[in-house]
Structure 1
Amino acid sequence: MKHPLVKNAEDRMNKAIEKIGEELRRMRTGRPSPAILEEIKVDYYGAPTPINQLATVSISEDRALIIKPWDKSVLPAIEKAIFTSDIGLTPQNDGNIIRLIFPTPTTEQKQKWVKKAKEVVEQGKVAIRNIRRDVLKDLKDMQKDGKISEDDEKRLEKEIQDLTDKKIEEMEKLFEKKEKEIMEV
């Protein structure tokens, strides 16, 4: 059975990895993905509403996202929300659907996106190391207070370091996957 400190550290590290994974998923890669619309809210009868709750979002074969609202009266509001967002795409409204065309990215754009992904992953690694630092501090305090023996402290330190290494490796895999996704477009 894992020590509560190790279990707590693992839970916190998993949350950090999950958060970074979400952030990477929402990153633009030059490939159409409904995930880039997740953060955009449309003013629908006074309530900020996600696009996926107002319309069907699909990917067409010509490198475009198709947004087909269930209520056509909301088309201008969706268009406005996309214009004011920072996704860098211009919506094309034909009266029935909105089309977001993803131009083929240049090598320079791809390199910028890879650099941004690397920064996001580095932030995640720092978060994991900070969790390790906090837990090791708690461990030292427990040993000073006599709650655990010196041998237990050393054993738990090693467990936490192994856990940290494993989670950092998971972060690296997330980055490698995202880099491959960006570069193959």
Structure 2
Amino acid sequence: MSRTTYKELEGKIESTLQFLRDELKKIKSGRANPSIVEDILVEAYGDMQPIKNVATISVADPQLLTVQPWDKSLVEPISKGIQEANIGINPAVSGDLIRLPLPQLTEERRVEYVKLMKEKLEEARIAVRAVRKDVLVGLQNKEKDGDMGEDDLNRMEKHVQNVVDKANEEIEEIGTHKEEELMKV
């Protein structure tokens, strides 16, 4: 397999896996994690900004996040933005600090989050299959054009499948870890 095709395959698969990791971080596990609120858009300086660009988000304890705006005039817009994001967290403002107590997850909610997580895993598997299909079609076209022989094509197809199998194993591993995290009381 040409280095470009191989790097392209690995790059696309890695970006798919990173997107999956980022999406799963947004699924609340009942534990405080800055990723729950960092991308919420708030009005700041006449524009919409993610909270992570205008404040420091910290984990005070396993059930509490704190948001410390860099500019005290942003306390209210950040608090309002979190409320309007409809994520089940009610901000408590004390001075220039915003406290975000995280409610305990019910068993029913945990099961819903596991279901959502499995949907995200399936989306990642579909994306990996699409990458595999694109690479294989490209290789078959090269073989058809006479740029490579049938033996090379077969060898490269096996290599592509090995890379895809490893990616699918990693997707399963990520899913197993997140499910354990979600179901842990």
TM bucket, shorter chain: over 0.9
Separation in 2, partners of 1:77, 1:61: 24
Report the Cα offset of residue 3 of structure 1: 4.1
> Following superposition of structure 1 onto structure 2, how do residues 115-126 of structure 1 map, counting pairs within 5 Å?
115-126=115-126
User: How far apart in 1 are the matches of 2:127 and 2:181?
Assistant: 24
Q: 1:63 aligned to 2:72?
A: no
Confirm whether residue 16 of structure 1 aligns to residue 41 of structure 2: no
1:137: Cα distance to partner? 1.0
Q: Which has the higher contact order (CA 8 A, sep 6+)?
A: 1
RMSD (Å), alpha carbons: 1.6
Q: Which 4+ residue blocks in structure 1 deviate beyond 6 angstroms?
A: none
**3-state SS of 1:27 partner:** coil
- 1:137 and 1:37, CA in 2 relative to 1: closer, same or farther beyond 3 A? same
Counterpart position of 1:149? 149
Deviation at 1:6, TM superposition (A): 2.6
Instruction: Give 1:62 shift.
Output: 6.3
Residue ranges of structure 2 left out of the alignment (5+ in a row):
none
* Matched residue, 1:90: 90
Quote the residue 2:32 is aligned against: 32
Length-normalised TM-score, structure 1? 0.93
CA contact (8 A) 2:32 2:62 kept: no
Q: Secondary structure at the match of 2:43?
A: strand
Aligned length: 185
Any idea what the Cα deviations from partners look like across 1:93-125, whole Å, max 9, x if unmatched? 233321111111111111111111111011001
Gaps of 5+ in 1: none
Check whether the contact 2:89–2:103 (CA below 8 A) recurs between aligned residues. Answer: no
- Tell me by how many angstroms 1:54 deviates: 2.5
How high is the sequence identity, in percent, across the aligned residues? 38
Q: TM-score, length-normalised on structure 2?
A: 0.93
Letter in 2 for 1:83: Q
